[in-house]
Amino acid sequence: AQSVTQLDSQVPVFEEAPVELRCNYSSSVSVYLFWYVQYPNQGLQLLLKYLSGSTLVKGINGFEAEFNKSQTSFHLRKPSVHISDTAEYFCAVRPTNFGNEKLTFGTGTRLTIIP
């Protein structure tokens, strides 16, 4: 089984400042990793994903994340945030083997941008 921990339930950040949203996972098998964003009263939209290869992945809206296998982490970063980045962010993992595509989600981090 897998588990995902997002330690920060809420993160306030001033506009144009950098931000890092933390994600740690636990799994006995290799996993794919995902970050999703959810705007109020909407569904989830994929920001980025790590399947294999380079551990630094770039996503939409200027976000990037780095996969660190030794620390079992997949932290999300953005060098300069905007008001429009206010949303809830979810980290998720799933095993790499075919036939087991279920996602396990973290509890989410609410990012609030302060003007």
Partner 1 sequence: DGGITQSPKYLFRKEGQNVTLSCEQNLNHDAMYWYRQDPGQGLRLIYYSQIVNDFQKGDIAEGYSVSREKKESFPLTVTSAQKNPTAFYLCASQDREAYNEQFFGPGTRLTVL
Number of residues that bind partner 1 (CB under 8 A): 22
Nearer to partner 1, 78 or 95 (CB): 95
79 φψ region: left (φ > 0), alpha (ψ -120 to 50), beta (else): alpha
Nearer to partner 1, 71 or 107 (CB): 107
CB of 115 to partner 1, least distance (A): 25
- Binding segment for partner 1 (CB under 8 A), chosen from 13-21, 28-36, 58-66, 73-81, is 28-36
Whole-angstrom CA distances from 107 to 16, 33, 61, 83 are 26, 15, 22, 22
Q: Cβ of residue 30: shortest distance to partner 1, in angstroms?
A: 12
Q: Does 44 bind partner 1 (CB under 8 A)?
A: yes
Place of tokens 């399947």: 51
List of residues contacting partner 1 (CB under 8 A): 9, 32, 34, 36, 41-46, 49, 51, 90, 96, 98, 101-103, 105-108
